[in-house]
Amino acid sequence: MKSAEIREAFLRFFEEKGHTRVASSSLIPANDPTLLFTNAGMNQFKDCFLGLEKRAYTRATTSQKCVRAGGKHNDLENVGYTARHHTFFEMLGNFSFGDYFKRDAITYAWEFLTSPKWLKLPAEKLWVTVYASDDEAYDIWTRTVGVPAERMVRIGDNKGAPYASDNFWAMGDTGPCGPCTEIFYDHGPEIWGGPPGSAEEDGDRYIEIWNNVFMQFNRTADGVLHPLPAPSVDTGMGLERISAVLQHVHSNYEIDLFQNLLAASAQAIGCANDGAPSLKVVADHIRSCSFLIADGVTPSNEGRGYVLRRIIRRACRHGNKLGARGTFFHKIVGALAAEMGDAYPELRQQRAQIERVLKNEEEQFAKTLEQGLKILEQDLAGLAAKVIPGDVVFKLYDTYGFPADLTADIARERDLTIDEEGFEREMQAQRERARSASAFGLDYNSLVKVDADTLFTGYEETFGQGQVVALFKGGATVERLGEGEEGVVVLDRTPFYAESGGQVGDCGYLSDASGVRFDVRDTTKVGGAHLHHGVVAKGGLHVGQALEAQVDGSVRGATALNHSATHLLHAALRRVLGEHVQQKGSLVNSQRLRFDFSHFEALTTEQIKALEALVNTEIRKNTAVETEVIDIDSAKKKGAMALFGEKYGDNVRVLSMGDFSIELCGGIHARRTGDIGLFKIVGEGGVAAGVRRIEAVTGAGALDYLNAAEEQLKEVAGLLKGSRDNLLDKLAGLLERNRQLEKELEQLKAKAASAAGDDLAGSAIEVAGVKVLSARLDGLDGKALLALVDQLKNKLGSAVILLGGEFDGKVVLVAGVTQDMIGKLKAGDLMKQAAAVVGGKGGGRPDMAQGGGSEAGKLDEALALVRPFVERAL
């Protein structure tokens, strides 16, 4: 069976068992700061297990994109060297949220694997592990399913702490967890390795293919296990591993999917396709890198971007080891898109972007690699021990961009290891330095915790009544806020929009009939509560008080126009630049809008014009801006653009401007596109590798911008004594005239210098038969002084000359010695001494030298040097 057929069979099997087929979620976990990348099928259901989220189904099945290259589950180091580890893999899973539990989970798995209708695996090839104390699972396996005791293994806490076990699965240090039962496949005695739990278990003979987790607990940061609201099931089977079993190969790299990727990798590198570990590394890494970029990650020096950078660099280095010349990695994307693009269309849509990001990163890395390798070689040459010290690893990381695992990789090839602890110590020290450098005050509002939800009434109105349900001062809850005090007010209902989705929070004021007033400077959100931040301008506030809430309508109105224009711009960008454009961030306030998006190069003037034209056309169509709240699947069917990494509930607010723009959005918008009036881009630039930023203005703001530009033009015209119509001619004429004047000035200066030269020649004195001359000439530049020295040399015969002066606030010095004298004294030496006096430097040839300094007050002292200099030399 092909991998694609196995994926489909799995999903279909569980659909037949009443499961809902759910799409893979993004590799960037939605709103989960505890997780670097999606690393298991259960991630997108975390809140369902915890009982925080209810869905329309209690059984689900997925084929989930996973990356395990950082955080708790990290396989990066093993990739290429074992038959079964990957940075990217697909996990087939079935899930029960408080529905079925151990018995069904076990029997479903067994049926799918062994039934003649499905995978038809021989039962005697399968081994099973259970958590040591899980008698219930053990009994189901042995009594109901009939697995003989000799192929059952109980595994306890074999990782040095309670619940730290191969058979107790946890998503991370916190979150859902529980005991598990794993199914292993015996690849046969010709492969080295022993059954799970034995001393040889790390061999490749017995491979775990399916993990069934009985989710029972939520582990909190203090290490305590709290029972989940309902026992649940989370299973995961690596598609690559089960494909290897069904395709009768023992390494994942021999399955259909990898055969093509390995061939494409060898071709891109220009090496033989001979199963070298490095080739496997490249074929593996192209998957994680491409999928991560498709999901919006770009290489950077921190967080997810840094992990991506590390993987790309590791791939590059392994390619280089195989003899790759120049860039090669991005050339494999096409083969990947062909192989997996049916199941994951984003690979085809984003292909150009993925290729560009990879190529750029490859080019950058080529520069640092060469230098870093040299340094490493030097350090290794002087190394007596078998461990590369932590400070060397850190230096390579910090100065040459060498990820520590890359250094570890190189070390491994030479039977060396790296001092990981030492490296971590250096890293920690650097973090401390960074922290102390950027220590700023604590934001007390981040401490505010509110249980109550605020009812938001602001889509329809900017005015409303509300009652104070909580007050905060300095992050602590208080009963009252007095006049002049700053704090946070929470109302039971409010028209104030709280900052989110890039749109800033509303400002305005809260008041009552008695004259109390609280000026709201900003509104934010914690949980479901809207926090009005500001200061009591008059009177006092107390919990329970009834207030009238008035949003500043003009600020809100201008903000709404910018928000709607942001949607039009987003849609226009995808039309003008391509489907690879993804939103990377946005900021919408009353002044302007800022939109960050993935794109690899600076926009051309034509592209910017095309964007403006397209957005303004949509504005002139005056389309109604419509919102509807529908379920997420219908929204997706409508083609609504959603943000990667953003978490949406079952029901979402869809905002449409005709067919041109359909996006999920909770923000405040214009009623019709025509309200925007005018859209004008005022800035375009890069913010990070592969991310561009556009800034724009709309409505009255756009008019202000154009008026200001026009004012400036008028002023310029006034200065040029012209009008807008003849401005360019006037300016060109002025520049030409300026050039002429500069030329004339040069000529005049030369003439003046020549005349001055005649005068100066007369002031030379004679020292031991040589003419010695020093003079101060302010206002001449170095070039003019050089010409003068030349001229004086001709006039004076045997001579030593030092001229100096102030020019543009600095001291300029030129020294000259005639040819017949350079055997005895040199202009360069004279200049060194003279320049040092004026606090600068100088030097040159024996017959002519130039220098300067900053201390004009000492110029005369410097010029006086020449006579003693000559006397000493002769």
- Catalog residues that contact ligand SER under the rule CB under 6 A: 40-42, 93, 169, 211, 213, 234-236
Tokens of 425: 């110590």
DSSP string, 645-694: T----SEEEEEEETTTEEEE--S---SBGGGG--EEEEEEEEEETTEEEE
Q: How far is the CB of 59 from ligand SER (least distance, A)?
A: 15
Q: How far is the CB of 61 from ligand SER (least distance, A)?
A: 12
Find out whether 187 is annotated in a ligand binding site: no
Cα→Cα distances 278→75, 120, 314, 316, 644, Å = 16, 34, 10, 10, 32
Report DSSP state, residue 23: P
Contact 297, 315 (CB under 8 A): no
What is the H or E stretch that residue 627 is in?
Answer: strand 625-631
Phi, psi values for residue 532, rounded to 5°: -90, 115
> Judged by CB, which is closer to ligand SER: 65, or 533?
65
Q: How far is the CB of 186 from ligand SER (least distance, A)?
A: 20
Q: Maximum Cα–Cα distance for the chain, whole Å?
A: 121
> Judged by CB, which is closer to ligand SER: 213, or 541?
213
Q: How far is the CB of 68 from ligand SER (least distance, A)?
A: 9
Other beta carbons less than 10 A from residue 648's beta carbon: 17
Find out whether 248 is annotated in a ligand binding site: no
> Judged by CB, which is closer to ligand SER: 93, or 495?
93
> Judged by CB, which is closer to ligand SER: 41, or 319?
41
Q: How far is the CB of 236 from ligand SER (least distance, A)?
A: 2
HSE-up (13 A, CA, CB side) for residue 229: 13
> Judged by CB, which is closer to ligand SER: 153, or 834?
153
* Residue whose Cβ sits closest to ligand SER: 236
Q: How far is the CB of 171 from ligand SER (least distance, A)?
A: 7
- Chain centroid to Cα 293, Å, comes to 11
Q: How far is the CB of 383 from ligand SER (least distance, A)?
A: 39
637 Cβ contact list (under 8 Å, min separation 6): none
> Judged by CB, which is closer to ligand SER: 213, or 788?
213
Find out whether 85 is annotated in a ligand binding site: no
Tokens of 483: 């006049």
Determine the Cα–Cα distance for residues 776 and 779; give it in Å rounded to an integer: 10
Determine the Cα–Cα distance for residues 692 and 589; give it in Å rounded to an integer: 19
Q: Is 587 helix (H, G, I), strand (E, B) or coil?
A: strand
Contact 760, 774 (CB under 8 A): no
Other beta carbons less than 10 A from residue 347's beta carbon: 23
Q: How far is the CB of 213 from ligand SER (least distance, A)?
A: 5
HSE-up (13 A, CA, CB side) for residue 319: 32
> Judged by CB, which is closer to ligand SER: 93, or 193?
93
What is the β-pairing status of strands 152-155 and 417-418?
unpaired
Closest C-alpha to 518, from 558, 491, 556: 491
Tokens of 153: 């293994």
Q: Which residue in the block uniquely carries the two structure tokens 């790309």?
A: 312
Report DSSP state, residue 173: S
DSSP string, 44-96: GGHHHHHTS---S-SEEEEEEEEE-BSSSSB-GGGTTTSSS--SEEEEEEEEE
Outline where 86-238 has alpha helix (H). 102-114, 135-139
> Per-residue b/e over 349-360, b at no fewer than 16 CB within 10 Å?
bbbebbbbbbbb
Q: How far is the CB of 169 from ligand SER (least distance, A)?
A: 5
Q: Is 412 exposed, middle or buried (0-12, 13-18, 19+ CB in 10 A)?
A: middle
Q: How far is the CB of 41 from ligand SER (least distance, A)?
A: 5
Determine the Cα–Cα distance for residues 261 and 246; give it in Å rounded to an integer: 19
Q: How far is the CB of 98 from ligand SER (least distance, A)?
A: 17
> Judged by CB, which is closer to ligand SER: 109, or 271?
109
> Judged by CB, which is closer to ligand SER: 73, or 356?
73
> Judged by CB, which is closer to ligand SER: 212, or 503?
212
Q: How far is the CB of 93 from ligand SER (least distance, A)?
A: 5
Find out whether 563 is annotated in a ligand binding site: yes
Determine the Cα–Cα distance for residues 773 and 587; give it in Å rounded to an integer: 68
> Judged by CB, which is closer to ligand SER: 236, or 505?
236
HSE-up (13 A, CA, CB side) for residue 824: 15
Closest C-alpha to 431, from 394, 456, 461: 394
Closest C-alpha to 825, from 777, 789, 868: 868
Q: How far is the CB of 103 from ligand SER (least distance, A)?
A: 18
Contact 177, 131 (CB under 8 A): no
What stretches of 452-591 adopt beta strand conformation (E)?
Answer: 455-456, 463-473, 476-478, 480-481, 486-491, 493-494, 508-511, 517-526, 529-538, 541-542, 546-551, 583-588
Q: How far is the CB of 89 from ligand SER (least distance, A)?
A: 10
Q: How far is the CB of 35 from ligand SER (least distance, A)?
A: 12
> Judged by CB, which is closer to ligand SER: 182, or 361?
182
> Judged by CB, which is closer to ligand SER: 73, or 331?
73
What stretches of 97-205 adopt beta strand conformation (E)?
Answer: 126-131, 152-155, 168-170, 175-186
Tokens of 405: 């695992």
> Judged by CB, which is closer to ligand SER: 48, or 662?
48
Determine the Cα–Cα distance for residues 502 and 524; give it in Å rounded to an integer: 12
> Judged by CB, which is closer to ligand SER: 95, or 365?
95
Closest C-alpha to 14, from 212, 251, 231: 212
Q: Which residues are annotated as a binding site for Zn(2+)?
A: 563, 567, 665, 669
Q: Which residues are annotated as a binding site?
A: 563, 567, 665, 669
